[in-house]
Amino acid sequence: MTGSYQFHFSPILPTGLILLLLAAGLAGCWFSLRKTRQPLEKRMIIFGLRLLILLLMSWLLLMPELLHTTRHSEPPHLIIMVDESLSMTDSPLSPPSLRTDNLQRFIELPIFRKFTGKYQLHWFRFGKDAVESAPPSQEKLSF
């Protein structure tokens, strides 16, 4: 399972307009404090608070978003179907256990072991109807 974070903006207004409003607000704050008779320290505190409020409002107009994406991977499903119908026998005179022997030899191949690690195996037997069955063990096959 892996995760990633992405940060992006979805502004309500065009970004240029937000910057223009911010500049107009800053100019308005500065010019409104120029004509007061307050000491410079108080004017700077008031200007700083107004600047902070304008920056927060601009930030909210930009509508920032933090997206967290989590990926969970699981192996793909592989369906193995074993045909048990009479038409699939090697010859009409051969016993039905030969089909099981062929499946046992297939399970013992190294390529099959490679499949068991990469895929989720689902076994189905079908003759007249398809029936999901348990995966055959490598020691004993029973159908």
* Residue range 79-93, pLDDT digits in tens: 888 777 766 666 666
CA 51/CA 29 separation, integer angstroms: 8
Residue 127 falls within a domain, yes or no?
yes
In this predicted structure, what is the pLDDT of residue 141? Answer: 45
The two three-digit tokens of residue 106, written as one number: 């297939």
Residues 7 and 54 in one domain: yes
> Which of the listed residues 71, 94, 121 is the one where a domain comes to its end?
71
Q: What's the domain range around 32? A: 2-71
pLDDT band at 34 (very low <50, low <70, confident <90, very high): confident
Higher confidence at residue 102 or residue 27?
Answer: 27
pLDDT of 32 higher than 80: yes
List the one residue out of 12, 2, 100 whose CA is nearest residue 57: 12
pLDDT of 143 higher than 60: no
Measured CA to CA in angstroms, residue 99 lies from 95, 103, 105 at distances of 8, 6, 10
Proportion of the chain above pLDDT 70, given as a percent: 77
Label residue 32 left, alpha or beta by phi (over 0 means left) and psi (-120 to 50 means alpha).
alpha
The two three-digit tokens of residue 130, written as one number: 């398809």
DSSP 14: -
Does an H or E element contain 100, and which? helix 97-107
Amino acid identity of residue 120, one-letter, is: Q
pTM above 0.75, yes or no: no
> Which of the listed residues 71, 92, 113 is the one where a domain comes to its end?
71
* Residue range 46-78, pLDDT digits in tens: 999 999 999 999 999 999 999 999 988 888 988
Residue 37 falls within a domain, yes or no?
yes
CA 41/CA 23 separation, integer angstroms: 23
Q: Mean pLDDT for the chain?
A: 81
